Amino acid sequence: VEKLADREQDWEFGIRTDGHGSSGENTSPVIVGENSFQFRASGDNWGKLPEGWQYKEGTAVAVDSRDQIYVFNRGTCPMIVLNPDGDILRTWGEGVFTNPHGVTIAPDDTVFCVDNGDSTVRRFSPTGDLLMTLGTPNQPSPKMSGEPFCVPAHVAFDKRTGDFYVADGYSNARVHKFSPAGKLLFSWGESGTGKGQFNIVHNIVVDNEGWVYVADRENHRIQIFSSDGKYETQWGDLSRVAAICIDDRSGEELVYIGEYFCGIATNDIGSDLGPRVTIMDTKGNVLARVGRESYGDQPGRFYSPHGIAVDSKGDIYVAEVSWTDYGRHMDPPRELRSMQKLVRVSD
């Protein structure tokens, strides 16, 4: 992979830029998507942040039962809660986190935050009061020991039981299942490419029947397990699955996937495997895709989809780690768009 500094300064990843992370093209809203999944997209960084504030990069995003959007980020304030219009409702988390990574809203609207910098999972009230901590800050388990936690990534809830699962993660090829009170029930997984093996357990979600969907990022797939950790099936035709959520507020369970394509050369056959959002049903059928084969901040294109969430109107929120993958390597380094909203315009 070429280093950014080795390329002409005003060309970044095949996109003409104006020196400020913008393509210089018209970023007026456009309609993107496929089939019945059509969205209005703009090239803007979503959210009305005060002057001088920045996300730096969005690592995760979640929507609660009141359509309040929680943006977990590595910028001015780690947790920014907004309404669907992008107005800030509240902020919290300053001085708490080492490296924000994953956020999940529990069925009771409490907020689970995964910090992969200090290897902890914390539970907060919606206003930021700490309710529970799993793991000892800055004391990870031995690498690849299978014990929780060693650089964990995300949390998912079984709405039927209140049990939750932790994707663990970068230095453990493991999924841990906990009781609602935080008692470890059991774990499964090991490093590898076979069934039930993982290469970065990056995200996780549970459907209404209790099936557990695991984003096996560097194996380019989603693996699906029963609630007792038994392998069921897997989905391919995906590229570095980083983000995944399931939404059923439309009356049908839909799986929204953020594909975190970065720095992989492809031939003509694979040229469409760019950073994108894929929408599937729970049978694994692709319903629509948003995004193109190249990176960018033009409407409906992406840098690095790392977190994804959907509100009650079917609007999609995409958090991107654009600083880690691109902005910090630019000359000079600069913040790029890291939060994008896709507004549903048709059913």
Per-residue model confidence (pLDDT) at position 42: 87
Architecture per CATH, 4-344: 6 Propeller (2.120)
Query: Any idea what the Cα angle at residue 144 is, between residues 138 and 146, rounded to 5°?
Result: 90
Encode pLDDT of 312-327 as tens digits: 999 999 999 999 988 9
Domain ranges of the chain: 4-344
Encode pLDDT of 215-245 as tens digits: 999 999 999 999 999 999 999 999 999 999 9
In sequence order, what DSSP letters do the residues of 234-292 get, joined into one string? EE-S-SSEEEEEEE-TTSS-EEEEEE---S----STTTT-SSEEEEEETTS-EEEEEE-
Cα–Cα dist 210/282, whole Å: 12
Q: What percent of the chain has pLDDT over 70?
A: 88
In order of 50, 242, 269, 281, 300, the CA distances from 284 in angstroms are 41, 17, 21, 6, 23
Q: Is 236 exposed, middle or buried (0-12, 13-18, 19+ CB in 10 A)?
A: exposed
pTM confidence score: 0.91
